Chains A and B, each alone.
Chain A
Amino acid sequence: MGKKVGMEVSIAAAEAAALCDVDVVAAYPITPQTHIVEHLSELVANGHLDAEFVPVESEHSAMSVCCGSAAAGARTITSTAAQGLALMAEIVFIASAMRLPMVMLVANRALSAPLSIWNDHSDAMMVRDCGWIQVFCENGQDVYDHVFHGFRVGEDPRVLLPVMINLDGFILTHVIEPMEFWTKEMAKSYLPPFKPVYRLHPDKVVSMGAFGMPEIYAEQKMAHDVALRNSRPVIDEAWDELARLTGRRYSAVEHYKTDGAETLILAMGSLCETASLAVDQMRDGGKKVGLVKLRLWRPFPFAEIRQALAGAKDVVVLDRSVSTGGGSAPVTSEIRAVMYHEPSRPKIHCMIAGLGGRDVTPDDVSNMVDMALAGTGAEYYIYGVRG
């Protein structure tokens, strides 16, 4: 493989989109996503990328333009965060239900109020049930590779779904990281041109977006659900091909020092790297702790999660958002539900940390594990709140 070059992750993501030869970019500025689309507009302005850059007047229109463009059969990308995702949410749900492939990079950021431009996962969790393929990236290389992966999977005629790539705002978007870059040839061999099953063009007349009477709505919903679940083999296939091409292996669920672990930490996104340092420390201290990284959030990898958590006594889930007034935070709720019917199930602890950009260090992760094992006496615990 090629040598590693340092680059800001946002710029790298835009470079990946350019190598994918995207046709339409529609985006509205919002921190911390801006560098991605700024660089894309620069590539278009300089003639390095032959695409239409549509500088829309809101995120709602960004997602609407993406729907129109994808329906026309154009390779389409956008990017947003937090309030932007909230504003476009209406159309986010429609894009997937209309089976319109596109890639959206979500620079994960806390939802207002209070206004915060900093990182957590409350934006992504708000649209958890939107019917997109959703991945969480651990580092910059991961983000870069997944832009190619996202288009390949989403546009596959067996899938036809939009793909959301989550990358932690600032923690990933604004960091300069050594990465291996793809060549044009690699991109070309990995990603065939988008050949939509249907496109809006007078040569073949179609109607898209009909309304559903009660006799058909449930069937449509089920078809969407089946499509999302059935995308899984294609997702794996694209990861296999990516591994062959780059030597980097991605999986729905990944393990770090889980052999013989009695306690497992479960995390998503960039927190996985922090947690792996904590695991090193704890292992050095003789504690039997391992880390399970959940990369694929939708379609949810049930079998792998059950398998990964089967032998553990305790699982400490690190959540990055709050289900206010609910049972536990979204990731923990999911994990608890998945494990409920297992014959032997671990205790599943919910630790909420890193809200609105609050830093989470490896020591914090160790502390949270200790606190969880000692028992917090609550369904969920918001870590590090000042008294």
Chain B
Amino acid sequence: MAEEKKKRILKPIKDFPLDEYIASGHRACQGCAEVLAVRHVLKAIGPDMVLAMATGCMEIISSPYPFTSWNVPWIHVAFENAAAVGSGVEAGLKALRRKGRIPDKNVTVVAMGGDGGTSDIGFQALSGMFERGHKMIYVCVDNEAYMNTGVQRSSSTPFGASTTTSPAGKARPSGQNTWKKDMTAIAAAHNIPYAATACPSYYSDLMRKVRRAAEVEGPAYLHVLSVCPTGWRVPPQTSIKYGALAVDSGVFPLYEVDHGVWKLSRKPKNLKPVTEYLKGQGRFRHLDEGMIALIQERVIANWERLLKLCEATGDKPAQSGSES
């Protein structure tokens, strides 16, 4: 036990930025890993940024007029259009800078949305942003359901999760009966320079990826798994633990696709059984052995496929459309 505990202690980053760009006093739930992810994303980029945010938890907790938690320029317009609003900011700043109307300074434009705002209603705007090649980062903070409106299922909700619109019942014992949409692969399929998964439980990896995303020429996508104690029905103090378990069980592998090269960011010697991840989560409590076996099977298959992708693309950087 003591040994296991020791292993889990993460090394602090030497140059961890102390400035805060999302102020405390916001209204996030206890143990919200999403706001933690946002905090780390902002720290990694620093003050020279503009953030366009979709409607959702992060927007609601941070901006009840006349208050704001944002120490960076921030705009919220609607639910499904953070990628398009960000595109507009990027285009506007680019034109103004070229014409000498604003200081000649690099500004990182970031758009951010939850899993609903990204994989469902904002999907089209996101694809448009990728395809047009805007130099900006899109961050999906994925808590695997519409938490802001009361835990309704999204296309990013995993198989087997019971939500308020995919409840487990006699006629549909699994709860959510579809598999999680693979947004990172979809982003990578746009041939953008950079797409990656991350999780605030592994914050140094998250911050390194944010910096890489800011560095590449063209659109970058980060898919950040963000544990939601309220919606997942886990104790608030276990957010970091469940994030780490999602990664270490292979349920949510950490990897990046840099110019078409797939690379694992964390390769556990042996994946932990999914039962370790599922147990204790209220949203999965109804699962029987058969359903758990199905999930385990799927996780292994996805993991092996991921390993093959890494192997197959390792020495073959793809031509990225937006950098041509």
A interface list, Cβ under 8 A from B: 23-24, 26, 50-52, 54-58, 60-61, 64-74, 76, 90-91, 94, 98, 193, 199-213, 216, 220
Majority SS of interface residues in chain B?
mixed
Interface centre among A68, A98, A204, A207 (most CB of B within 10 A): A68
Q: Is the C-beta of B34 less than 8 angstroms from some C-beta in chain A?
A: no
With A200-B50, A208-B74 known as contacts, the answer to whether A64 contacts B88 (CB < 8 A) is: yes
- Contact for B124 among A61, A199, A202, CB less than 8 A: A61
Q: Is the C-beta of B127 less than 8 angstroms from some C-beta in chain A?
A: yes
Tell me if A58 and B128 are in contact (CB < 8 A).
Answer: yes
Tell me if B128 and A61 are in contact (CB < 8 A).
Answer: yes
Majority SS of interface residues in chain A?
mixed
Return A37 CB to nearest CB of chain B, in Å: 15
- A-facing mask of B96-126, CB < 8 A → 1, else 0? 1011011101010000000000000000110
Tell me if A24 and B64 are in contact (CB < 8 A).
Answer: no
With A23-B99, A94-B77, A202-B47 known as contacts, the answer to whether A57 contacts B131 (CB < 8 A) is: yes
B105: chain A residues within 8 A (beta carbon): 202-203
Interface size, B (range): 35 or more
Return A254 CB to nearest CB of chain B, in Å: 36
B251: chain A residues within 8 A (beta carbon): none
Q: Is the C-beta of B86 less than 8 angstroms from some C-beta in chain A?
A: yes
Return B23 CB to nearest CB of chain A, in Å: 11
Return B308 CB to nearest CB of chain A, in Å: 32
With A60-B81, A61-B84, A61-B87 known as contacts, the answer to whether A205 contacts B99 (CB < 8 A) is: no
Interface centre among A26, A52, A65 (most CB of B within 10 A): A65
- Write 9 A-B pairs (CB below 8 A) sorted by A numbering: A24-B95, A65-B84, A67-B77, A71-B92, A90-B78, A91-B81, A200-B50, A202-B47, A210-B68
Chain A's closest residue to B72 (CB) is: A205
With A58-B128, A90-B78 known as contacts, the answer to whether A69 contacts B88 (CB < 8 A) is: yes
B288: chain A residues within 8 A (beta carbon): none
B49: chain A residues within 8 A (beta carbon): 202
Q: Is the C-beta of B275 less than 8 angstroms from some C-beta in chain A?
A: no
B80: chain A residues within 8 A (beta carbon): 60
Distance of A76 Cα from B96 Cα, bound (Å): 11
Tell me if B77 and A216 are in contact (CB < 8 A).
Answer: no
